[in-house]
Structure 1
Amino acid sequence: MSTRTTPLADPLDLIDLAAVLTDEERDIQATVATFLADRVRPHLAEWFENAHFARELAPEMGALGLLGMHLDGYGCAGTNAVSYGLACLELEAADSGFRSFVSVQGSLAMYSIHRWGSEEQKQEWLPRLAAGTAIGCFGLTEPDFGSNPAGMRTRAVRDGGDWILNGSKMWITNGGIADVATVWADTDEGVRGFLVPRGTPGFSTRDIRQKMSLRASVTSELHLADVRLPAEARLPGAAGLRGPLSCLNEARFGILFGAVGAGRDSLQAALRYADSRVQFDRPISGFQLTQRKLADMAVALGNSALLAVHLGRLKDGGRLRPEQVSVGKLNNVREALTIARECRTILGANGISLEYSPIRHANNLESVLTYEGTSEIHTLVIGQALTGQAAYR
């Protein structure tokens, strides 16, 4: 008598994740997954190997409503936070580079304008950014100041009615292809944000090459040499570090969902491989050590997914706190990276080939673990919430 049953197509079906989603949320997730299956997945190995980002897909993602999808007005879709998170899950299940593009476009570049910009700035940029006919980036990190943005050296000084900016930014996603950059600079009045259009004299970019991670994504340096901007280029609502940090919280929310997608895709690849790979006259999926790996990963993935949806519900209710975002980002990225690495072991030597996704996800997640708050910084955010004491210094 056979003891074999039908395997699950989606490891998240183990916990019936769909049961805690609405019909609309499931429909949005399925629509994004279909788009990626048709337009992105067939090319991912080639794009990763050749370090190519398919910029031509930006208007298609705009038409689908993916860009700034959780924002209201100005051509944005205005979905709830969970729907946005599920879109990020599917994007990162394809490749972290595409989730990074959407996160930076919507939750950093667009959100900075939507939350802190003037009405004129919103009207000028948000409809084009939402449509994908313009691309934005977010310049906060500097070569010597990542986890400590308060030490930034980029400086903006008044000159009559204008501002003069000098400095540089590093590790800027979309920087080399952006039509507008939100650049944060120190001023005599504290940290302020400025919109710097491509082509502004003194503003230049240089793409970072020889990356082993996020290869299907554009990562750049921004250089500002006596960049003169009119007064109306400043984001009027942003004062101090609260401005850029609020944008980072928006982007981190997408990451904690996206990491679940990378883990799920890795586990699906390992499950398919284990069922077809025969050793000692039977599929390796039938061996106890392999099943323990698969079971442990499925439990960790399910916990991460439920945490993501719970935090999404808090966000939709206006109750999500920054330290809770840190919990989600720290846990879900850490678990996804562990899953991707473990899945690679199930694939054996074949696991280092781009024919299979786990090694690509593992490489990408090394960057995700570090950017928009390193795991160490998020650990200290959680530690401060627990103890009331800041331990950053």
Structure 2
Amino acid sequence: MSSPSLPASVPATVTVFASPTSWIESDAVAQCRQVAALDGMIHVAGMPDLHPGKGAPIGAAMASSVLYPFLVGSDIGCGIAVFPITLKRAVPEKLAARFPDLDRPLDPERDADDPAWNVLAGEIPAGHTEGLGTVGRGNHFVELARVGSVLDAAHAARLGLAAGDLVLVVHTGSRGLGERILRAHTERYGAGPAPDPEAYLARHDEAVRWGALNRRLLAARVAHALGAAPTEPIVDECHNLVEVRDGHYLHRKGAAPGDGRDVLVAGTRGTPSYLVAAHAGPEANHSVAHGAGRKMSRGDALRRNRVKHTVEELRRTPVGSLVVCGDRQLLFEEAPSAYKRIEQVIADLVEHRLATPVVTTVPLVTYKTADVGVATERRKRGRR
């Protein structure tokens, strides 16, 4: 791998691809400017889902001649994949009770006979077996959804999608592996650059491959539990990574590759998501939004939604879907109202000619964490 060119002599530029009516926090823009001031930084592109992160903005693509691991963060390889699935009937109440416990890891020895392992080709990246087949916390999820509106019939047909089709949407990353890689760097260098970029990239690439494998394992576990055959993903794009492009390091933190890729831009558990054909150019660092983006911090969402909603209200969404979540705090933190309007995010992508919507996906069941008690009660009611 050739080394990137020397730092640019002109100041780094910052562009936020959002309309004046979009909700963009000033703190997020300030973080973009702080990143732009780093040595070697060339251009920072903020997506319409831009919001503040821990030390660096989320929803941004950042090009630099210097590699900064903290700009990617700890969840290296996090991404969203879409898997077609065929079921005879899709009744949310019945299917929610059949979701497996995706907080329980797959163990290569204990669970050697689990059919989900059939998606594994070759060795487990980095030999990291901890947390395989699990979703994680935060905004990660596995969702059974139905294709709603078809907005580009020709492109949808190329993907094999039609209105009414069912898909599994999986959003997760490298779990503890990415965190381990970042910690090994920050313990010695803090927020500074990687002293050996190629060594970091080798570990980073393993985490990216691990995240992709984990999404496949999760989809296979759910498919088998619902009585369906696992399928290959029609979309699988990572939005936390760094790539070497045009002689520079392109860091993406909550921004999906937008150079001719198909990307699922996630809404919330109570709104549609949008599968888009991305065609972003260099002014956007070849990137698009990865989701609706938070408009409330987790603390704010917890306080406000405890006043506005009950737990049971949040288990059924405005679109009639069900949420499987045994963590009550997470239910409040991840309520749809904590996020920006996905329709505005997509409108901004279209307005700035970064993407073209192809189809929407409407949630039926969204899995966040195991809720064994609720699932058991549903099974009991089903036998009555």
Larger radius of gyration: 1
Verify same fold: TM over 0.5: no
Give TM-score scaled by structure 2 length.
Answer: 0.26
Q: Which has the higher contact order (CA 8 A, sep 6+)?
A: 2
